[in-house]
Amino acid sequence: MLFNQIAEVFPVTARLGADVYDQSPDLSCKEICTVWGEPLLEKLYKGSLFSATDLPSFQRQESVFIMLNIGLLGVLLLMHIIFASFLGYPPRTLVLLLSAVLLLNVFELAWVQRLTTALEPGSLLMLTWSSICLNVAAAGLLTVLADHEDSPYFTLAMVPVLIAAFRLSLPAVLGVVGVASVLNFAAVEYFFRQHPPADVGEYFEAGISALILAFVGLLVWLLMQQIREHENELARNLLELKQTRARLLEEETLAAVGRLSSAIAHEIRNPVAMISSSLAMAKRGQLDAENNNEMYEIAAREAFRLEKLTTDFLTYARPRQPEPRPNSVHDTLSYVASVCRAHAGDKQVRIEVEAPESLESELDPAQIQQALLNLVMNAIDASPQGGTVRLQSDWDGSSEVRMSVTNPGPEIPEKVMPRIFEPFFTTKARGTGLGLAIARNIARAHGGELSVSSNQHDNVCFCLRLPAAKAGAPARAARN
């Protein structure tokens, strides 16, 4: 779960780390971080320290900056018009320049939204510097064209400072702040040359504006650095988690193979030993005809048991791909019940089917019958004399049909519950331990699931969930 969350939050970091790991899975985290002769994490922010190298992040980030700039342009022009009595009516050249900058921003926004592939680092760097230069120049020119000592248009310089602080290195941020401040002082100087005498207070205000730009730029840059450091740390943790996950999967696979091999050897050894000893005794010729025939019968029974074991194992290990089609759930349950009634009669157990005749599910009849047969036979064996095994079905009202097999009798012990679907695990004296494992494989191959829905005294229930028929679960008229 943590691995997936990190990959969702930092897709670029996760993708780069995963690529390096896939190429060199045996490397340690420290070794991975020095792959190709330079630290891995420096690759993430090489050069201009961009943090939006994937397309969706870049589009969101760039769109915010553009819309902020468009909003500022509109608000400043509106303020100029509203306070025309103080600032003077906007000159035509100012309106034309402001409109041109506004159109450029609109065109850039449309272009950014239509991008289908991420920009190369060089193109991204060029776009960023172009945007910064355009906005700084526009702020300076509009301040001059406003022809007023209290021109509000220098506020536009805040956007390029934010872009630089968000994406570029500290020297670049200070450079943008310095250029913007110089332009502000130049605009003040130009105004007082045109309208003497000079007012020292305006130079003081220009200095305050420069300090504000520097403070905002430095603060945003420091915050971005902190975010990058956290992302670097998460990238390191991601690589370590991936290594640990790979080792755990390998160890679990080896352990599972070991358990399976041991179970197979144990299950095969017993019938083979019985066959071998029975045939050896019959071959010696020291037994009478009746005992001799009994040895051959034992060998035949064990051979049949061995054949069934290998057949079940192949069914589990290489399941046939199901061919699901709409089928009546009632007919399926009724067929399984009729097949199991003889065995239930021997155990003095009743079987009841409770299912709507119109209920349908997408299933492969042969495979689902095999899965249900395993469940019903287990239920019969676990039921006391006079008990009733119930085969029931219902529909969840949307996309799932549930088929349940319920039997009375003792509950499944808590220590056994975690292993009941494990291959070759059985509590029966002569069971193979593959019945429930095969049934669950069949359910999952159909896009469903097999689980224990109730485990109480006199109410043990296995629930088989399968997709409902596409046309709707109660799809056919009731039949006799």
pLDDT at 51 over 60: no
* Pairwise CA distance, residues 238 & 215, whole Å: 34
Confidence at 318, pLDDT banded by 50, 70, 90: low
Residues 100-125 pLDDT 10s: 999 999 999 999 999 988 888 888 88
Tokens of 390: 């119930």
Look at residue 250 in the predicted model and tell me its pLDDT: 79
- Give the residue ranges of DSSP H helices in 318-421: 329-346, 365-382
Could you give the domains of the chain?
A: 55-198 (no CATH), 261-317 (1.10.287.130), 325-467 (3.30.565.10)
Quote the CA–CA distance of 457 and 410 in Å, as a whole number.
5
d(CA 400, CA 90): 68
| 149 to 75, 88, 141, 192, 231: CA distances (angstroms) | 19, 11, 14, 8, 45
Which amino acid, 201?
Answer: G
Mean pLDDT confidence for 214-236: 88
Element (H or E) spanning 286, and its range?
Answer: none
- pLDDT tens-digit profile of 229-267? 887 888 888 888 888 888 887 787 777 666 666 666 766
Under the banding of pLDDT at 50, 70 and 90, the label for residue 43 is: very low
9 pLDDT higher than 70: no
CB 282 within 8 A of CB 295: yes
CA 178 to chain centre: 46
Cα gap 185→182, rounded to integer Å: 5
Q: Given pLDDT bands bounded at 50, 70 and 90, which one contains residue 301? A: confident
